[in-house]
């Protein structure tokens, strides 16, 4: 058996990416925006339900930043954010000089806890400020409790930004993730379900919002012959080369989702026989996860760390779960509402190698490490 490194989450190429890149070079469309960007948006619009409008940007982070701008978030506004997530969900709140208010996870989906969400909203209102937006995340591809979370948001009239960066291909009650929020976002970073090397989109329900997003993403140029600006602009549009990679990748979107889910069933077989570790899933026909990453909970932090080292010794990458935002030095001064669920998950949780490109040989090696560790 080879000893090549097995990474946590790599994409699978379709083989068409290079052709798109070469064509972009030949046609001299080597800039932000362009025909491949339009085609990529159209392909994604076809993939999502009717009435979804896609604006392609240079990252998922810029998509969240523009989503906050589109919702009119201003200096000093409060924005609720799921604490257990990647920092890119929360950083844009600070770009806007707004105040993040972090909310704990619940144990079924590991996502924003409806009870704590409502407590947080009530308490913030009582303290004098109604939160202006909620950022909810489908972590590791698992949909959050959409009905419960949106019912609360609707009751208080607060828009939701749906961070679907990890959840392309996931769905809730048969409807695709990314289409529930006032705005949804996706990421095409190299570790996601499909990649454009770096990229992201905003999903909205109207052509006007899509156009407004593109307006902000291309330096907010007013209609004029000369360059005229009456709003702050950003250089956030996706490049034509990246969109070309995306067009190649979209051909394997369904295959990639399939291999991620097959990885999950591979791990399920292994962990069926292991008592001291619990593979995360949420077997329930309303929640369809792409299983972007497979994760397990061990009994203690020490055990989690020694399994991580065992993988490392065999040249395989595994990683602790996202460290909750309210525990991060940059965010620890901001309000937090919860019962330490995210803390507990972070203490004992490990992400397992889950790329779309895992071969049978890779899987044999992974299985060997796990079986040997728990023996
Ligand atoms: C990857 C990711 C993002 C940001 O995406 P980039 O394209 O890397 O900027 C945002 N939120 C979550 C939960 C992510 O995993």
Q: What is the pLDDT of residues 74-106, one digit of tens each?
A: 999 999 999 999 999 999 999 999 999 999 999
Q: In the chain, how many domains are there?
A: 2
**Residue 12: count of CB within 10 angstroms of its CB:** 17
88 CB less than 6 Å from ligand 1? yes
Rounded to whole angstroms, the Cα distance separating 209 from 52 reads 11
Burial class for 281, CB neighbours closer than 10 Å (0-12, 13-18, 19+): middle
- Domain edge (last residue) among 184, 215, 250: 250
Residue 5 in domain: no
Domain membership flag for residue 1: no
* CA of 223 relative to ligand 1 center, distance in Å: 32
Of 208, 233, 250, the domain-final residue? 250
Domain that holds residue 235: 17-250
For residue 137, give the ligand 1 atom closest to its CA: 13
- 55 close to ligand 1 (CB < 6 Angstrom): no
CA 61 to chain centre: 10
Binding site membership of 165 for ligand 1 (Cβ less than 6 Å): yes
352 touches 267 (CB < 8 A)? yes
Kindly name the residue from 96, 132, 192, 210 that is annotated as catalytic.
192
pLDDT at residue 134, rounded to an integer: 98
Helices 146-156 and 114-126 sit at what angle, rounded to 10 degrees? 10
| Residue 50: per-residue pLDDT | 83
CB 166 less than 6 A from any atom of ligand 1 = yes
Residue 360 within a domain: yes
The secondary element (H helix, E strand) that includes residue 86 is: none
Do 127 and 214 lie in one domain? The reply is: yes
Give the total residue count for the chain: 375
* Closest to 50 (Cα-Cα) out of 207, 217, 223, 224: 207
Q: Among 206, 195, 204, 133, which residue's Cα sits nearest to residue 166?
A: 195
* Protein residue with its CA nearest to atom 14 in ligand 1: 165
Check if 96 is active-site: no
Same domain, 217 and 269: no
d(CA 338, CA 333): 15
195 Cβ inside 6 Å of ligand 1: no
Predicted local confidence at residue 1, as pLDDT: 67
Q: What is the CATH number of the domain that holds 63?
A: 3.40.640.10
Does 294 map to a domain?
yes
196, 215, 250: which is the final residue of a domain? 250
- pLDDT string in tens for the chain (375-residue length): 688 999 999 988 999 999 999 999 999 999 999 999 999 999 999 999 789 999 999 999 999 999 999 999 999 999 999 999 999 999 999 999 999 999 999 999 999 999 999 999 999 999 999 999 999 999 999 999 999 999 999 999 999 999 999 999 999 999 999 999 999 999 999 999 999 999 999 999 999 999 999 999 999 999 999 999 999 999 999 999 999 999 999 999 999 999 999 999 999 999 999 999 999 999 888 999 999 999 999 999 999 999 999 999 999 999 999 999 999 999 999 999 999 999 999 999 999 999 999 999 999 999 999 999 999
- Report the atom number in ligand 1 closest to the C-alpha of 88: 10
d(CA 170, ligand 1 centre) in Å: 16
Residue 208's CB is within 10 A of a number of other CB atoms, namely: 10
Q: Does some domain include residue 3?
A: no
**CA–centroid distance, residue 191 to ligand 1 (Å):** 10
């Amino acid at each position: 058996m080879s000893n090549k490194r097995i990474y946590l989450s790599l994409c699978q190429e379709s083989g068409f990416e290079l052709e798109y890149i070469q064509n972009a070079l030949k046609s001299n469309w080597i800039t932000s925006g362009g025909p491949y960007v339009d085609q990529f948006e159209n392909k994604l619009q076809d993939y999502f339900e009717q009435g979804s409008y896609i604006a392609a940007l240079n990252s998922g982070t810029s998509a969240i930043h523009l989503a906050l701008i589109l919702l009119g978030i201003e200096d000093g506004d409060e924005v609720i954010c799921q604490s257990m997530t990647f920092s890119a969900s929360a950083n844009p709140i600070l770009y806007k000089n707004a105040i993040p208010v972090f909310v704990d996870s619940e144990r079924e989906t590991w996502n924003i806890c409806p009870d704590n969400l409502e407590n947080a909203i009530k308490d913030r209102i009582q303290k004098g400020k109604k939160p202006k937006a909620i950022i909810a995340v489908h972590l590791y591809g698992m949909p959050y409790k959409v009905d419960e979370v949106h019912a609360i948001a609707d009751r208080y009239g607060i828009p939701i930004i749906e961070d679907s960066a990890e959840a392309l291909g996931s769905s809730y009650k048969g409807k695709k993730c990314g289409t529930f929020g006032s705005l949804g976002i996706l990421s095409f970073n190299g570790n996601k379900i499909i990649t454009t090397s770096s990229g992201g989109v905003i999903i909205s329900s109207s052509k006007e919002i899509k156009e407004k997003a593109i307006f902000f993403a291309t330096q907010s140029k007013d209609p004029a012959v000369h360059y005229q600006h009456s709003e702050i602009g950003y250089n956030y549009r996706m490049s034509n080369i990246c969109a070309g990679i995306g067009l190649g990748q979209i051909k394997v979107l369904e295959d990639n989702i399939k291999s991620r889910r097959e990885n999950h069933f591979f791990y399920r077989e292994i962990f069926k026989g292991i008592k001291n570790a619990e593979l995360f899933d949420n077997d329930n026909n309303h929640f369809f996860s792409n299983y972007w990453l497979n994760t397990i909970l061990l009994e203690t932090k020490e055990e989690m760390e020694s399994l991580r080292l065992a993988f490392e010794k065999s040249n395989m990458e595994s990683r602790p779960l996202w460290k909750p935002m309210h525990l991060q030095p940059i965010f620890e001064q901001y309000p937090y509402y919860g019962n330490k669920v995210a803390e507990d998950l972070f203490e004992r949780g490990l992400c397992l190698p889950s790329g779309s490109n895992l071969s049978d040989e890779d899987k044999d090696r992974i299985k060997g490490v796990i079986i040997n560790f728990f023996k």
